[in-house]
Amino acid sequence: MKKIMLITLLGVFGTSSSQQVADESYAPIISSPEYESGKGPIVFIDEGHHNFHTKNGRYKGFSNILESDGYIVKAYKGAFEKKKLETGKILVISNAQNEINVQNWYLPNPSAFTKSEIKNIEQWVHEGGSLFLIADHMPMAGAAQDLAAAFKFEFTNGFAMDTLIRGPAYFNIKEGTLIESNITKGRNSTENITQIATFTGQAFKIPSDAKPILVFNERYVNRLPDTAWVFEKKTPVYNAKGLSQGAYKKYGKGRIVAFGEAAMFTTQLAGPNKIKVGMNRDDAKENYQLLLNIIHWLDQKFD
């Protein structure tokens, strides 16, 4: 029964890492780029913590969009050091992992970051840096819990899942699951977001000084298995209503955006049939605009 449950729930969106490649053909037109090509500030994408998503890997589409908007996107290698962080404006951390979980997606899921690294990031943000922290379902959520907690976000090391249908989760203004905010409005009316698609991920609690972007309704539950994608009768589960999958806040002179799902910002081709997953899907057409709005907010282009 365990194997049957695992295979059924993996479906399209839980394909193994070897079956997920970037869709190189995806290239949305950026009609009003923030900067001239190569003239924007540096955006670091973390590659020093066994990251599932990297600049020229599964976040190739992510980095392409930012570069089309004029940003200089660089891979961040090695440990987080304050002086090195100060050479960039925005730090993106997507699905970092502790070394012990790179091949083994089961408990325990210790932090991907040392205490000194967390302190360095916290101080850098407080002094004016901008952090975009993305941590998917377990074990990635567990690996980022300590870093998120430094900013008072409570990541849950599980799987946020719809109880009625399988496939993408849709957050929209009409149902009140996509919360209208400065980030969903963007720089002008042409950048307003009305619906976003995500692909499983985790649910988390936000601090009182943060603003939600994506909020789960009563249809969703949070499952906390001891092994990724293996759900048994004994697996803890509770309703996810009111928990978030995206939120943001100012922190000192800096800013942080936290998301509990990473594939929504990819352009993947998954499985032998190369099924689209991420911003390249027809039902996720506004995801790329949300990404740009987030980066512009982190860049302090609007409040």
* Strand partners for 195: 172
* CA distance readout (Å), 12 to 44, 53, 168, 271, 273: 30, 18, 10, 7, 10
Statement: residue 6 has pLDDT above 50:
no
Identify the burial level of 104 via C-beta atoms within 10 angstroms of its C-beta, where 0-12 means exposed, 13-18 middle and 19 or more buried.
exposed
DSSP designation for 282:
G
* CA distance readout (Å), 25 to 10, 60, 68, 280: 26, 11, 14, 9
Statement: residue 33 has pLDDT above 60:
yes
Residue carrying structure tokens 């759900």: 231
d(CA 68, CA 60): 12
The mean-pLDDT minimum among 22-26, 80-84, 113-117 falls in 22-26
Closest residue by Cα to residue 194 from 179, 180, 176, 173: 173
Q: Which band of pLDDT confidence, cut at 50, 70 and 90, is reported for residue 131?
A: very high
Statement: residue 15 has pLDDT above 80:
no
Identify the burial level of 146 via C-beta atoms within 10 angstroms of its C-beta, where 0-12 means exposed, 13-18 middle and 19 or more buried.
middle
pLDDT tens, residue by residue, 240-275: 999 999 999 999 999 999 999 999 999 999 888 999
Alpha-carbon Rg for the chain in angstroms:
18
Q: Which percentage of the chain shows pLDDT scores above 90?
A: 88
